[in-house]
Structures are given as structure tokens and as C-alpha cells.
Structure 1
Amino acid sequence: MPKPKVAVLRPDDGRIDRAIQYLQSLGVSPIADPMLTICPTGQSPQQAEYCIFTSKTGVELAVECGWQPDGGTVCAVGQQTAAALRNRGYTVDVVPTTFTSTGLVEELSDAVEGATVEIARSAHGSEVLIRGLEEAGAVVHETHLYRLERPNTAGKSISLTVEDELDGVLFTSPKTVEHFFDIAAERERTSTLQKKLEQTIVGAIGTPTERALRTKAVAVDIKPDSVGFEPLAEAVVQEIDNEHA
């Protein structure tokens, strides 16, 4: 019996390689179709009383630029972001219980009135974080550390989905959803893709990714409570195995 095929859309750096290896360890055939490429801007976070990081990539780029907190409160959205900071010797002062921008706003809203807040992230972050902190009285500045662009090679997973060749698709960010459906629209296959995804196990990391899929009229089958690639991959593969049992 052929192994199930699962598409993985992680960025075209070490993450796609690690994802392929992990999916292979779960006994499926990974279909690597990176939907993101990281394009650093060369900017560095400004000094502020609070500095917020929202991704491991942002942390890595800030470290490369020589950023130091200089006594400011360091905040991280998500345990992976926090771990990236700690692994590089930084103290993480605030990690919201809910790994979202809304969760961080709730965590900081009573503390930031009149304070300067630096948000160091990609150029594609939602306005929720900025708006919420400003409403709490903070003076907010945002630095775009990188842009997320679509690789020219992206699109294999769309073709395989339409051809009924995929058992599962792993969506790991709202931007992967956007690029996935942009390609489908360019090929005039959006409606067909939506129908075919009804027969495919669709997995999403986190509420923002799930929300992005729902705006495309796609039902999410798997969204683990833990935000990370490995729990997502495990849960999707388990669901595929259950269907094939």
C-alpha cells in the first residue's frame, strides 16, 4: 500500500528540511512545496521600554543585527519565540498564556500606559497588536525585520490537490494560506481546489491560520492546542491513518 502524501508549506530554509525529515519519521511521503521565502530588510529593533518579538525568525534577525534590550522588558508571542530568545542568552519577561497578539495585548494592557513599545516582526503582522497597545496608552513603534515573499517554485501542492493526489495539507501561517490561494486564483482553480480540500485532511497551526482558511471557505480538520509543527504533523497523520484504517 502506498504511503499517504502530505504537503508541507514551510519556508524554503532549514524549516522545510526539518519538516520533511519529521514527516518521513511518521511514515508518510512529504510533498515539499514552500510557500514562503524570508527576505530580511536589514533593519534592527529600536530601543524601548518594552520590546515585542512575534517569531523565531524575527529573533534570529535581531540577534544578527546586534540588538540588545538595554534593560527593557522583553516580550515573546509563543513558546518557540521565547525559546529562540532564551537560547541566545536573553531573558524573556512576558509570554502570554494565549499565543496570539490579542493575548499579549491583554497581558500588557494594564502596564504600558505612557510606555514606549517596540514591535519587531515581519512586514505582514496584523494591526491588532498595534491598535490594542495604543488603546492601552502605549507609544508604539514597529520595525519590519523581514518580508515574506512567495517562491517562484511554489504550486506543486495545488496541482496535486486538484488531481486527488494528496491525503493532507499542513498550513503553518496565514501567509501560507494567502499564497496557496493566490496561486489557485492565478490558475483559475479556486473553486475546484476548495471542493478537493473537502476530501483532504487540512491542518492549521494556530487560530490566525485557521481563520485565514475559513475566509477561503475551507474547513479545518486539525488544529492542535499546542502551537508548533510537530504536533500539527502528528495530528494530521493520525487522522489520515484513522481514515485509512
Structure 2
Amino acid sequence: MSDTPTVAVFRPDDDRLEQAVAFLEDRDAEPIPDPMLAVEATDARPRTDADYVVFTSKTGAELIAEAGWKPHGETVCAIGPATTDALRAEGYAVDHVPDEYTSSGLVESLGTAVDGARIEVARSDHGSPVLLEGLEDAGAYVHETILYRLVRPTKSGESAEVAAEGGLDAACFTSSLTVEHFLEAAAERGLREEAIAGLEDAVVGVIGEPTRETAAAHGVAVDLVASEATFDRLATETIDAVTDDD
């Protein structure tokens, strides 16, 4: 490894990718930006007859604002600081944010308070079933609205080529879908096994246990799960692991 580790980052090709690249560069890493997610809006709006409404992403917050959604007295829940900040930037009040920025963290933080309540979950088409199942198990009546679909950009895959060539020191996977799309892009280039082998020689960091499970199911060994479900924490801990291995 050189003094400047190469780190693959898979954020959507918007300000999130720009911020991720800048964050890595500030920590003396060489980013390999390779967006694995693109957004296709459905133009759907959350229902307005719920007691609670749950948002799980910055993208969802921006889309409901574009669609002109207005709250009607619901308790607005947000998973994570990025979602919270995006909702507030669009003029929405946020009433509840779990200490643990995950679906299971939200379920645990709401606890028995949602027994008998109507909950609207507004998110992408690849949301974790943990959230819906957990809320239902807590006694809530849950409805899901798909605000957008997540698809793989056609030009994605540069990082798979770098991994296959043995040039990748680390990779930061931020969701199960980024793992799946990385492997799809590698397979499209006829490099799936080589890319997985390249990841074996790199530090693989992920956000959350579901992402780790997805990676393992596809034969990708994970070195660390970020202690907090944010990109900044994931990137920091991944770079630290690369440095420790050096």
C-alpha cells in the first residue's frame, strides 16, 4: 500500500458523493468514487391519516418537499442526522430521532408507544423489512409508501476494475444495495471473482449488520461494521483500519 490509501466510495452522484470525496481527501486517502445508486422518483406522497410518519433518507426528505407534502399533526420520525437535517432544511419539524441510526434502533426507541398507532413509512423500494416487521410486532398498523426506486447507474464499475487489479486498499459500503450493485457491475465486466478476490486484500467496511449479512451472503468478507450508521464514521474507522494494517 502507498502512503495514500485508495478507498472506494459508492454514494449517489450528488452532493453526498462530493462530500464523501472531500471527507476522504481531508484524511489523506485517495477516493475511488463509483456511484452505485441512482434515484428514480415515483411521485408518490406519504399518506396523511397516520399518527406517525417515518422518513429514512435525505432523498426522501427532498422528494416529499418537491411533491408538496404537508404534515397533518403526525409525529415525524427520522432515522439519522442526514435525514433529520434534510427534513429541517425543507421546513419540516422532526419530533423523534433514535439514538441508534438504524431501523431496529427506531423500533426500539418507539417501543410500546406505537401499540395501536397508525404508522406511515415513506422510503425507497429497497428499505429493510426490519422496520416494518418491528413496528408491526410492536402492535402498530403500518403502511409503506415508495417515494423512489434505487437503480444501478449504467457507468458504474470503475472500483470493481481497480479491485480486480489489486489496486484497492479499502471499500466503504453504505447499504446492501451498494454491495449487490458493485458485484453486478463486476459481473458485467466479467470480473466478479477477481473483484471479490481484490476485496479480500482490502479493508471492507460497511454500515449496519444487514449490509454485513448481504456481503457475507455474496462471498465478500467484511472487516468492520461502523460503530455509528453514518458515512463519516464508516470512512474514519475504515481508514484507521487500513493504517493499522499497514
Could you tell me the TM-score, scaled by structure 2's length?
0.90
Please give the secondary structure, in 2, of the residue aligned with 1:111: helix
1:239 deviation in Å? 2.3
Please give the secondary structure, in 1, of the residue aligned with 2:225: coil
1:66 deviation in Å? 1.8
Which residue does the alignment assign to 1:51?
A: 53
1:22 deviation in Å? 1.7
- Aligned residue among 122, 135, 143 for 1:120: 122
1:169 deviation in Å? 1.0
Please give the secondary structure, in 2, of the residue aligned with 1:80: helix
Corresponding position: 1:164 with 2:142: no
Describe the shift of the 1:217–1:159 C-alpha distance in structure 2 as closer, same or farther (beyond 3 A).
Answer: same
Corresponding position: 1:146 with 2:148: yes
Per-residue displacement from partner, 1:101-159 (whole Å, max 9, x unpaired)?
22222333412233221110001112222223233332222111111110011011111
Query: Which is worse superposed, 110-119 or 140-149?
Result: 110-119
**Structure 2: runs of 5 or more not aligned:** none
Query: Which is worse superposed, 46-55 or 222-231?
Result: 222-231
Query: Which is worse superposed, 20-29 or 163-172?
Result: 20-29
Displacement over 6 Å in runs of 4+: none
Distance 1:18 1:94 in 2: 26
Distance 1:146 1:39 in 2: 5
Please give the secondary structure, in 2, of the residue aligned with 1:7: strand
Which residue does the alignment assign to 1:72?
A: 74
1:200 deviation in Å? 0.4
Which residue does the alignment assign to 1:61?
A: 63
- Aligned residue among 187, 198, 201 for 1:199: 201
1:8 deviation in Å? 1.0
Query: Which is worse superposed, 122-131 or 44-53?
Result: 122-131
Per-residue displacement from partner, 1:32-52 (whole Å, max 9, x unpaired)?
111111111111111111101
Describe the shift of the 1:71–1:156 C-alpha distance in structure 2 as closer, same or farther (beyond 3 A).
Answer: same
Per-residue displacement from partner, 1:55-112 (whole Å, max 9, x unpaired)?
1111111122222221111111223222322333433222223322222223334122
Distance 1:186 1:176 in 2: 15
Distance 2:3 2:134 in 1: 50
Which residue does the alignment assign to 1:176?
A: 178
Corresponding position: 1:36 with 2:42: no
Distance 1:100 1:241 in 2: 28
Give the aligned residue type for 1:7.
Answer: A
Please give the secondary structure, in 2, of the residue aligned with 1:211: helix
Distance 2:23 2:137 in 1: 42
The 8 Å contact of residues 168 and 198 in structure 2, kept in 1 or not, is answered as no
1:2 deviation in Å? 6.0
Which residue does the alignment assign to 1:3?
A: 4
**Structure 1: runs of 5 or more not aligned:** none
Aligned length: 244
Distance 1:60 1:70 in 2: 18
The 8 Å contact of residues 100 and 228 in structure 2, kept in 1 or not, is answered as no
Give the aligned residue type for 1:179.
Answer: H
Query: Which is worse superposed, 92-101 or 48-57?
Result: 92-101
Give the aligned residue type for 1:15.
Answer: R
Please give the secondary structure, in 2, of the residue aligned with 1:142: strand
Distance 1:206 1:86 in 2: 25
Distance 1:67 1:23 in 2: 35
1:19 deviation in Å? 1.4
Please give the secondary structure, in 2, of the residue aligned with 1:64: helix
Which residue does the alignment assign to 1:98?
A: 100
Distance 1:97 1:2 in 2: 36
